[in-house]
């Protein structure tokens, strides 16, 4: 189980989820704001790609990715949660998936940061 608990896996799962759910949301509601999670997903994925270059970049872009993840989690929960609960349907499912992967990613990041500190 430990092999899945790393920040790179959390990044990939979260970014792909945000990208796909944003595209699905746009297809369903035809609102450009549905692309906001996709934009965050793309930025998080770019952080993942850049973090692979060297150790110093890994530290910087891991922190940027966690900040982006927290921002989109707060934005989704603050702006969409009550509306999606009232409306139900596929929009609620998309939101639950995005909130779940963001939360998973944050937990994995925290775990990864703790392990890095212990290994210093």
**pLDDT tens across 49-99, in order?**
988 887 778 888 888 999 999 999 999 999 988 888 888 899 899 999 999
Give the predicted TM-score (pTM) of the model: 0.88
Q: What is the mean pLDDT of residues 1-5?
A: 57
Distances (CA, A) of 42 to 7, 51, 92, 114: 16, 14, 22, 26
Looking at the chain, the whole-number percentage of residues with pLDDT higher than 90 is 54
Domain segments of the chain: what residues? 7-118
> What was the pLDDT predicted at 52?
82
Contacts of 70 (CB under 8 A, 6+ apart): 106
């Amino acid at each position: 189980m430990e092999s899945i608990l790393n920040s790179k896996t959390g990044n990939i799962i979260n970014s792909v989820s945000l990208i796909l759910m944003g595209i699905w949301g746009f297809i369903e509601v035809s609102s450009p704001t549905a692309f906001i999670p996709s934009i965050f997903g793309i930025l998080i994925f770019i952080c993942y790609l850049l973090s692979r270059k060297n150790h110093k970049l890994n530290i910087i872009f891991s922190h940027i990715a966690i900040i982006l993840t927290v921002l989109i989690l707060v934005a989704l929960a603050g702006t969409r949660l009550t509306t999606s609960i009232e409306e139900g349907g596929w929009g609620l499912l998309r939101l639950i998936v995005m909130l779940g992967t963001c939360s998973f990613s944050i937990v994995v990041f925290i775990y990864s940061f703790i392990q890095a500190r212990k290994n210093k």
